Amino acid sequence: MPELPEVQTVIDTLKPLIIDHTIVDVFTNYPNIFEQDDESFRLKVRNQTIKEIQRKGKFIIVRLSRGFIIIHLRMEGKFYVVDSTSDWMTYKHSHVFFHLDQDLVWIYNDVRKFGTIAFVENLHDHSGLNRLGFDVFDPGLTADYLYQKSISRSIPIKTFLLDQSVIAGIGNIYANELLFNIQLSPTQPANTIKKVECERLVEELRHLMTSAIKQGGTTIRSYTSSLGVTGLFQLSLSVHGREHKPCQRCQSTIKRIKIAGRSSFYCEQCQKSKLRKGRSV
């Protein structure tokens, strides 16, 4: 699935295709995708016009004339926008079909069916959105904020970075990349990270995400953004997926371990865990 840069790429690609179009009707062959009853979802969005598409963390927010559609692509969700006269009925793993005006079909496709779609009248009605901390690019995300949040957390820094209620938008790939870039061990407890390291974390995080978005998002395995636009950033990954390969900084061998059930790639030489008694700022 899409990480934040892919979500942004999907939004950028989708905007010119569906904004100002009206949803004529909605069909699904897998109602569980919806967080509510599929018939009530249909009645809520029918005859509404798509006004804007934005993002918070990895949630996609589609603003309608009245209310919002909140979409999370989870692991493998993606969109297609096709002409209604094409053979869209035959697409594999397509689960939701938004029939738009001017003979367009906006399709939600999800091999693993992990994604979610909901309609809400107001953004604060959505529990997933409510849980999120500051988005990666939200000015409220500062080193100080991160430091304060880390004080009560003994979990590995990598797990802390993946906690969407702290920072919204970091996924497994970018957590691995980020820690490699600033040379922190993924296993180091969050409450041993110094404030100056929080500053570097925030700075490098934005730099990493910005350059990934510029390159159209990462593609690993099955992901393609709408209309088959494929990201190119996977060529730029420094550690993720590079187990047994030489570290690009020191040539020693990249290791892979499990942290909180997620594959974590790192260099034992460059990313040594610094054990500290307490911590100084």
Smaller CB distance to DNA: residue 44 or 58? 58
258 flagged as catalytic: no
**Site for DNA, residues 229 to 258, rule: CB under 7 A:** 240, 258
Task: Check if 2 is active-site.
Answer: yes
32 binds DNA (CB under 7 A): yes
DSSP letter, residue 212: H
Residue with tokens 């107001």: 122
- Interaction of residue 29 with DNA, rule CB under 7 A: no
Contact criterion met (CB below 8 Å) for 153 and 259: no
Per the annotation, the verdict on 200 as an active-site residue is no
* Footprint of DNA on 78-137 (CB under 7 A): 92-93, 111-114, 127-128, 131
Binding residues for DNA, rule CB under 7 A, total 42
Cα 123 to Cα 131: distance, rounded to the nearest angstrom: 12
- The 3-state DSSP class for residue 99 equals strand
Active site residue 3: yes
Q: Per rule CB under 7 A, is residue 6 in the interface with DNA? A: yes
Q: Among the candidate windows 21-29, 41-49, 134-142, 147-155, which touches DNA by CB under 7 A?
A: 147-155
DSSP state of 135: E
> What is the nearest approach in angstroms of DNA to the Cβ of residue 30?
8
Report how far residue 233's alpha carbon sits from residue 25's, in angstroms, rounded to the nearest whole number: 36
Q: How many separate helices (H) and strands (E) can be counted in the chain? A: 7, 12
Using CB under 7 A as the binding rule, whether residue 43 contacts DNA is answered as no
Cα angle at 221 between 215 and 227, to 5 degrees?
Answer: 60
Residue tagged active-site, from 256, 262, 268, 279: 262
* Residues with active-site annotation: 2-3, 58, 262
- Site for DNA, rule CB under 7 A: 1-3, 6, 32, 57-58, 72, 74-76, 92-93, 111-114, 127-128, 131, 152-155, 159, 162, 164, 171-173, 218-223, 240, 258, 260-263
